[in-house]
C-alpha cells in the first residue's frame, strides 16, 4: 500500500448507468478506506450538478478538486466514461484514475473502436455502423448493408453501456423497429453479426514506470506494461447477456478460469494487452471476447467497468493475485504517476 492519499471519488453521473455508478463508488470508497486512504465523496446528480457534503461544488480551472491527491471517477457511460469528465479533470490539473480523454472517447464509441481494431488487424465480429440521418434518408440502402450480416444480429446504441437499448433481431421484419429504438438513445448505431461460442472477459491492470516511458515490447507490439488477468467465462440465464442478466441477482455467473483451452486463454490475454495498447488506455480496462474453440474474437473494451467486489473486473484481478483494497490503491498510484510524468512535458 502507498502512503495515505486524499481521494476525490466521483459517483452517479448523468447517464442511464447512474445507479450502477453509485454501487461501484460505494465499493471503491470501502476499498480505499480499507487501504488507509481518506475519501471525499462527490456525487454527480442526474442533472449534472456536482455536490460534496450536500453543497453544490464550484470548479476552478487549474485549482484541482477538493485538495485531493487523485480523483477516482467511478462513472459509467456518457458524461463520465466518454472523455468529457476526463477533459474536465485535465483542465482542473488533477491526477485521476483510468484512461485519458482520447482513449475514453474512442472506447466509448463502439463504431470508432471497431474501425480502429479493423485497421490494426484485430479479429472481431462483422458489423455495420450507421447514423440516424442516413437511416431516415436512405433506409433501403442501410437495410441492404445490414442484410450482409445474416441473422440473428444485435442492434446497439454506439455510446451506451450496460446493454442499454440493445435488441437481438432474429426476424428481418423487426429490424426497422429495433433501429428506431436504438436511435432514440444515440444518433449513431452499430449492428453486429451473431457471434458463436462463449463470452469471455479479461481484466488489464496497466502500469507505467517512474519516468512515464512505455515498457519493452510484449509479443509483436509495444505497449504500456500491463498485467492481463486470468480470463473468466460469463454464464447467463437469459437468452443473451442483457441488462437483466448483468445486474439481476442470479442473472449471470462468472467462471474463473474460463473453460477454454490453454492456447485460447493465452490468445485472450495477448489480445487484451494489444487492444489496451492500440487504444492508448492507461490504468485499467476490461476487454470482452467471444471464444469458439480456438477462435478468439474481440468484442469491446470497457475503460471503467463495474467496480464492486463482486463485479467481473474485481473478481478477475483478485483471482490473479490482486485483492480489492490493493487494486484501488494501485490504480490511484498509477493515476498520480501519470500526472507527475505529464508535468515534465512542455506545452
Nearest Cα residue to 338 out of 203, 214, 202: 214
What phi and psi values does residue 14 have, to the nearest 5 degrees? -85, -15
Look up 211 and say whether it is catalytic: no
CB atoms within 10 A of CB 97: 27
Catalytic residue flag (residue 288): yes
- Looking at 306, 313, 329, 330, which residue is catalytic? 306
Q: What is the rounded distance in angstroms from the CA atom of residue 76 to the CA atom of residue 302?
A: 9
Distance CA 269, CA 201 (A): 9
**Residue 152 DSSP SS3:** coil
Task: From 70, 59, 62, select the one nearest 97 (Cα to Cα).
Answer: 70
Which cell numbers in the block locate residue 317?
Answer: 484481478
| Catalytic position from the list 242, 274, 288, 329 | 288
Q: Using alpha carbons only, what angle is made at residue 13 by residues 186 and 106, rounded to the nearest 5 degrees?
A: 50
Active-site residue (options: 69, 300, 329, 337): 300
Q: Which of 29, 269, 286, 330 is catalytic?
A: 286
Residue from 181, 197, 247, 251 carrying the catalytic annotation: 247
Please indicate whether residue 247 is annotated as part of the active site.
yes
The yes-or-no answer on residue 201 being catalytic is no
Q: Of 302, 324, 330, 337, which residue is the catalytic one?
A: 302
Question: Is 17 labeled as catalytic in the residue annotation?
Answer: yes
Of 15, 104, 162, 265, which is the active-site residue? 162
CA–CA dist 272, 286 (Å, integer): 8
Cell numbers representing residue 146 in the block: 445490414
b/e map 161-197, b = 16+ CB within 10 Å: bbbbbbbebeeeeebeebbeebbebbebbbbbbbbee
67 is catalytic: no
Catalytic residues: 17, 162, 247, 286, 288, 300, 302, 306
Amino acid at each position: 500500500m502507498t502512503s495515505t492519499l486524499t481521494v476525490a471519488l466521483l459517483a452517479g453521473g448523468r447517464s442511464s448507468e447512474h445507479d450502477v455508478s453509485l454501487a461501484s463508488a460505494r465499493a471503491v470508497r470501502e476499498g480505499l478506506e480499507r487501504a488507509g486512504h481518506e475519501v471525499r465523496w462527490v456525487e454527480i446528480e442526474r442533472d449534472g450538478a456536482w455536490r460534496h457534503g450536500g453543497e453544490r461544488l464550484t470548479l476552478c480551472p487549474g485549482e484541482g478538486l477538493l485538495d485531493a491527491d487523485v480523483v477516482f471517477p467511478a462513472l459509467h457511460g456518457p458524461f463520465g466514461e466518454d472523455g468529457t469528465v476526463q477533459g474536465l479533470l485535465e483542465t482542473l490539473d488533477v491526477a485521476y484514475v483510468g484512461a485519458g480523454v482520447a482513449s475514453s472517447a474512442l472506447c466509448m464509441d463502439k463504431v470508432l473502436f471497431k474501425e480502429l481494431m479493423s485497421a490494426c488487424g484485430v479479429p472481431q465480429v462483422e458489423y455495420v455502423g450507421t447514423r440516424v440521418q442516413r437511416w431516415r434518408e436512405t433506409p433501403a440502402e442501410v437495410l441492404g448493408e445490414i442484410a450482409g450480416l445474416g441473422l440473428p444480429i444485435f442492434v446497439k446504441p454506439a455510446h451506451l453501456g450496460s446493454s442499454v437499448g440493445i435488441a437481438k433481431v432474429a426476424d428481418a421484419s423487426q429490424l426497422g423497429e429495433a433501429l428506431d429504438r436504438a436511435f432514440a438513445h444515440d444518433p449513431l448505431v452499430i449492428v453486429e453479426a451473431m457471434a458463436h461460442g462463449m463470452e469471455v472477459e479479461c481484466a488489464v491492470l496497466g502500469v507505467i514506470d517512474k519516468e512515464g516511458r512505455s515498457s519493452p515490447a510484449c509479443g509483436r507490439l509495444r505497449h504500456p506494461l500491463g498485467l492481463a488477468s486470468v480470463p473468466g467465462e460469463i454464464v447467463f440465464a437469459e437468452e443473451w447477456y442483457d441488462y437483466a442478466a448483468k445486474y439481476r441477482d442470479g442473472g449471470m455467473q462468472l467462471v474463473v478460469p474460463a473453460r477454454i483451452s490453454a492456447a485460447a486463454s493465452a490468445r485472450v490475454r495477448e489480445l487484451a494487452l494489444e487492444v489496451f495498447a492500440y487504444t492508448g488506455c492507461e490504468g485499467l480496462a476490461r476487454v470482452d471476447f467471444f471464444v469458439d474453440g480456438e477462435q478468439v474474437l474481440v468484442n469491446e473494451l470497457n475503460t471503467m467497468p463495474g467496480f464492486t467486489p463482486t463485479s467481473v473486473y474485481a473478481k478477475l484481478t483478485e483471482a490473479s493475485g490482486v485483492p480489492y483494497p490493493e487494486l484501488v490503491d494501485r490504480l490511484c498510484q498509477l493515476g498520480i504517476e501519470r500526472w507527475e510524468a505529464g508535468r515534465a512535458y512542455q506545452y
